[in-house]
Structure 1
Amino acid sequence: MSLDLSREMYYSYAEKKKLIFYPRIQKNLRELYKRKLVAAQEAVQVIKSGDNIVLAFGCGEPPALLEAMARRHHELEEVKVHQMLPIREANYLNPEMAKSFRHVSWFTSGPNRQAVNEGRADFMPGHFHEYPLFFQKYINVDIFMGTVSPMDDRGYFSFGLSVDYTSTAAAQARVIILEVNPNMPRTRGESLIHISEVDFIVENNDPIPEIPIPATTENDKIIGGYIAELVEDGSTLQLGIGSIPNAVADILQHKKNLGIHTEMVTDGMVDLIESGAVTGSKKTLHAGKIIGTFAAGTRRLYDFISDNPLVELYPVSYVNDPYIIGQNYKMVSINATLQIDLLGQCASESIGPRQYSATGGQTDFARGCLRSPGGKGFVALHSTAKNGKFSKIVPVLQKGAVVSCSKNDVDHVVTEFGVAKLRGKTARERALALIAIAHPDFRTELQAAAHKMELI
């Protein structure tokens, strides 16, 4: 089945530009490249106080440009810097630069979490699949900055590991500054931008950030086993990063004809492909292809996806649209949460009022799976936190906690003590099912709370 790009929000920068022929430009590509090539410090001179700057997602962030921008902090005021999932520590996030740069976090992580929770940075709520639309309707993009792979013979760069909202933000930008890095893999799909549309080019050969593969615990393996038992041959998978998804990927290697339609392409997926478990032959959409919107992991992953026709990255407005996800037969989504109450409400992005991450694509895929024929959604978590001191299944969520995935969107919940099927269950049945998979040390306490709440 072909891409459903009938709605405006699905049109990425690459889709609008890739079929345009540049007959005059083609003859002078190298000359054009040289004219636009500048030092990082020169490129960032275009930034003005009050500008909205959008940075590429995650591994696509441009470190040389960010360092050069930070050196101008004494000249600038109230520059908003938008980014989802920063990976490197950046100087512009330091407290002493708060008057010059106001970071807007679209997904809070290690580098920006402290700034958000101290009030030095803002946080942008939203579902991941909607973010490109935000740049089209709500936010004026003055400057886009991101890392790309080197230019090809036809004048195209690839956004590499970061297509997601990146391609749309670039299409909306008044000024485009690209950091060209030979270490950025060139990816297939909708990942291209032409040199004719670029204002400044900076070169940098820093290593692309890698995310280490987390070790799996015994409880991770138990949870992974429960989920793997319910994943049928021929299913299409969405897996995130973390020890539980890695454990699931390890156990799924004996399955047959699995497919992948995921927001994030990971190392665990490479293992599934190389084991023969993933063939994509049963996929409803993009048969035989690994479909994602960004990738993050180790250099092994980056080398695997580089110019690999098996892997295609598309804008998140397409990949994460629940309507698109639901067209995959037997779609399986595996997400994590920090805390869940007895109705099934998931607090996956905050610890009380303190922002920890973001909604991301959790709700996108939870809802998409429910549309899918034979689809299944899983929310996985360890039963306790802080070495067993606290139950992660609670009567009510902690005060100030943000509900990332509503009770109406949760299908299965899995801990090391079993699986609770919530979809189609009453509030009473949900509470009993969740208490049954809580840690035994907390079940009596949960039962008493449920009685007091008149749930059971």
Structure 2
Amino acid sequence: MTVNGRPRLSDTERCVDEVIRRVGKTITLGLPLGLGKPTRLVNALYQRAKDDPEINLHIFTALSLLAPSGASSLEKRFMGPFAERLYGDIPELQYARDVLKNRLPPNVQVSEFFFKAGSYLNNRNQQQQYISTNYTHAVRDLMNLGVNVVAQMVSPGELHDAPGMVSLSCNPDLSLDLLPLLREMEASGAPVAIVGEINRQLPWFGRDAAIAEDQFDVMFEHQASEYPLFSAPQMAISSVDHLIGFYASTLVKDGGTLQLGIGSLGAALVHSAILRHKNNDAWRAVFDRLKVAECFPLAVREGGVGPFEKGLYGCSEMMVDGFLYLMEAGILRREVHDNADLQTLINDGEIDEQVSLATLDVLRREELIDSPMRARDVAWLQRHGILQDAVDFKGGRLRVGEHSLDTNLDDIESREAIASLALGERLTGGVALHGGFYVGPKKFYQSLRELSDTDRDRICMTSVSFINHLYDHQFGDQRLKASQRVHSRFINTAMMYTLSGAAVSDGLEDGRVISGVGGQYNFVSMAHELPDARSIITLRSTRNTKGTVVSNIVFNYGHCTIPRHLRDVVITEYGIADLRGQPDEQVYLRLIRIADSRFQRGLLSQAQKAGKVDAAFRLPASWLNNTPESIAKAFAEAGGKDWFPAFPFGRDFTDQELALGQALNKLKVKTATRRGKVVTLLQAFRAKDEQGRYTELLQRMGLSQPSGLREKLDQRLVILGLQLTENPPDTGNSKA
């Protein structure tokens, strides 16, 4: 098949041959973050490099996704059927599997700037090859590395009235910036190859994401590449997560802007925002029960308690599935326009989405159009829907069918004629969500494919250089972005937070990388640059490490992602800490206030010893109820699972898998220490399913009829785990 004079090849080997013909055997391959990797093509190129040691292949990317497999024998039994169900029809990234198993050939190097959280924590090769960079600097760093090949999965335009076009869909994030730079390299004499892989499972997005297919040098198309998209399953939202999400929802301002990340904390916020909008009485009851206005006045001062009457605009490097739920709920509906003057007039209430003669009068007053109108005025007004598309401008007059209208806005008859024949009904071309990339559950991809043309056009997948910061000449100027991003709430997560106000989000103090900086620094910094914007860091107050509960709010830490001078708002399940512009003593105390009470005295003692808090300060009694028991009580009083379910947006796990997952998690916690392992094994030897209550669950694990000592022990462990989840011990340290 040929499109625009360029062939679509159906053989990956021929594609690899063409790449090598164009650039030679020294290949620096840039691949999209996450979903958009063209797996068939990449596997073919990687296999060629494995077969031919003369090829030097350096892969630069982020988030190389693999199906989960589990570490222990029990985890493998649990994950096997689940992974087969979700990922069995998806080809695996062979280089990523070899990276995980430390078996890359010596002529292949893989560098990533963002890991799937924790996936390479103990992989020395990847820790050594990790490149630390802001998301917005990744293109610069790719160019410095000498990238000469870019490969990406794309969606074809034939089925979307866009022949000759393809959509970058899930990953215009870096490609929109990178492809022109590669063509500049080529023009200067450096060989390059831009390669695409057609996949009709990939949802189509137009606007910035749609580019001409002839921008690619090689395009691969084969039925074998029409494979399902790699999905990220919905994770359960705990009571702790729900409370964090609820507090965050109090800070979202109607008529504002929202940025979110992936995970249960982001999903919890989306759920609470929808509850606030659609069941406001129930939401307000929780607001009052938690005494938010009294304890955390920032929510009243800069957030809101009512439904989202004006709606929100989304501007997020990652389009999580939660944005679709916000759109369906009627919350994500504030549309922004690509003209700063027009957007400012909308923000100020000078004009609204409904078009009238008053719209023309305001635009004329602001000298955005002239009277009589000129050709450029008419074209500009049509682009924004203020004049109908059917209007022509000829000979200095508006032509509408058989009618010829004067464009003098001071003439009463002309005004009446324009109003009745030429004016549009509403502003058009607005965008409710700008996104850079997406990864999500299987259901999410199906919803994207089924979007109406109207809703799809309200989403603009575009470059991170537009989304993640203000200073960009190619994709919108600073004034335009500031006019669109009013009352921004940039909501991100952290692993730990120090009392001085530094966030730890991507790595450990020994230098090992958990994930990466991504765009977090950009959004936090932007919150300090935009008027009315706030950076909100969410984190759970504690975590369980080797069987011991430890605080995520710490006195200090030997690594930080966000430095303390960018401190702003921090939320745990115990409330909101407003840190912006506060003196150090207040920052320390406000963070201690939302820490778990088991650690408050120790944190205060360290702060006082360092001279950061007055030695005479004592913890108020009202701060000392930050316990798992109080969370359980607050959650129950707030309506519990009736209002705050574990899976408000559906799930990929079956009922059996949920029960088994809880049991395995319980066992993992119990066996985190050497003593815990011994005790758990002794308990497992005594665990029996005498009444056959767990027969189906044991069948799911392949342990209904164990053979051999290993399987018999695994069966007993599963039975013990199930018994523990049904009858958890009262230790006082269990999570709510």
Deviations 1:289-339 (A, max 9, x none): 211111221244334444610110111111111455644110011100011
Residue in 1 that maps onto 2:696: none
Mean Cα deviation higher: 262-271 or 87-96: 87-96
Alignment check: 8 A CA contact 2:118 2:514 kept: no
CA distance in 2, matches of 1:50, 1:374: 49
Q: Once superposed, what is the RMSD of the aligned Cα atoms? A: 2.4
The 5 A counterparts of 1:257-276 are 257-276=311-330
Mean Cα deviation higher: 241-250 or 68-77: 68-77
Larger helix percent: 2
Residue in 2 that maps onto 1:191: 209
The 5 A counterparts of 1:44-443 are 44-45=16-17, 46-47=19-20, 48-72=24-48, 73-76=50-53, 77-88=55-66, 90-93=93-96, 94=98, 95-109=102-116, 113=120, 117-119=124-126, 122-136=129-143, 138-152=144-158, 153-173=162-182, 174-203=192-221, 204-253=225-274, 254=277, 255-256=307-308, 257-281=311-335, 284=343, 287-306=430-449, 308-323=456-471, 324=478, 326-327=482-483, 328-352=485-509, 353-386=511-544, 389-397=549-557, 399=558, 401=559, 403-443=560-600
| CA-CA distance at 1:268 after TM superposition | 0.9
Alignment check: 8 A CA contact 1:291 1:312 kept: yes
Q: One-letter code of the match for 1:169?
A: L
| CA-CA distance at 1:62 after TM superposition | 1.0
CA distance in 2, matches of 1:63, 1:111: 23
| CA-CA distance at 1:151 after TM superposition | 4.1
CA distance in 1, matches of 2:122, 2:605: 39
Q: One-letter code of the match for 1:246?
A: A
CA distance in 2, matches of 1:178, 1:121: 30
Alignment check: 8 A CA contact 1:57 1:83 kept: yes
Q: One-letter code of the match for 2:30?
A: V
CA distance in 2, matches of 1:119, 1:416: 34
Q: One-letter code of the match for 2:172?
A: V
CA distance in 1, matches of 2:39, 2:117: 16
Alignment check: 8 A CA contact 1:237 1:259 kept: yes
Alignment check: 8 A CA contact 1:378 1:410 kept: no
CA distance in 1, matches of 2:522, 2:512: 23
Alignment check: 8 A CA contact 1:187 1:305 kept: no
Alignment check: 8 A CA contact 1:363 1:409 kept: no
Larger strand percent: 1
Which SS does the other structure have where 1:226 is aligned?
A: helix
Alignment check: 8 A CA contact 1:129 1:318 kept: no
Deviations 1:403-432 (A, max 9, x none): 211112221000011111111011121111
Q: One-letter code of the match for 2:438?
A: A
| CA-CA distance at 1:288 after TM superposition | 4.4
Alignment check: 8 A CA contact 1:326 1:371 kept: no
Alignment check: 8 A CA contact 2:170 2:438 kept: yes
Alignment check: 8 A CA contact 1:183 1:205 kept: yes
Which SS does the other structure have where 1:367 is aligned?
A: helix
Deviations 1:7-38 (A, max 9, x none): xxxxxxxxxxxxxxxxxxxxx954735x3414
| CA-CA distance at 1:120 after TM superposition | 6.9
The answer for unaligned runs of 5 or more in structure 2 is 67-91, 183-191, 278-306, 338-342, 345-428, 472-477, 614-736
| Rg larger for | 2
| CA-CA distance at 1:121 after TM superposition | 5.5
| CA-CA distance at 1:358 after TM superposition | 0.8
| CA-CA distance at 1:78 after TM superposition | 4.0
Mean Cα deviation higher: 94-103 or 45-54: 45-54
CA distance in 2, matches of 1:120, 1:91: 19
| CA-CA distance at 1:55 after TM superposition | 0.7
Q: 1:110 to 1:425 in 2, by over 3 A?
A: closer
Percent identical across equivalent pairs? 24
Q: 1:58 to 1:431 in 2, by over 3 A?
A: same
| CA-CA distance at 1:108 after TM superposition | 1.2
CA distance in 1, matches of 2:121, 2:272: 36
CA distance in 1, matches of 2:252, 2:541: 22
Q: 1:168 to 1:334 in 2, by over 3 A?
A: same
Q: One-letter code of the match for 1:177?
A: V
Which SS does the other structure have where 1:390 is aligned?
A: strand
Which SS does the other structure have where 1:262 is aligned?
A: strand
Alignment check: 8 A CA contact 2:503 2:561 kept: yes
Say how many residue pairs are matched: 424
Q: 1:366 to 1:326 in 2, by over 3 A?
A: farther
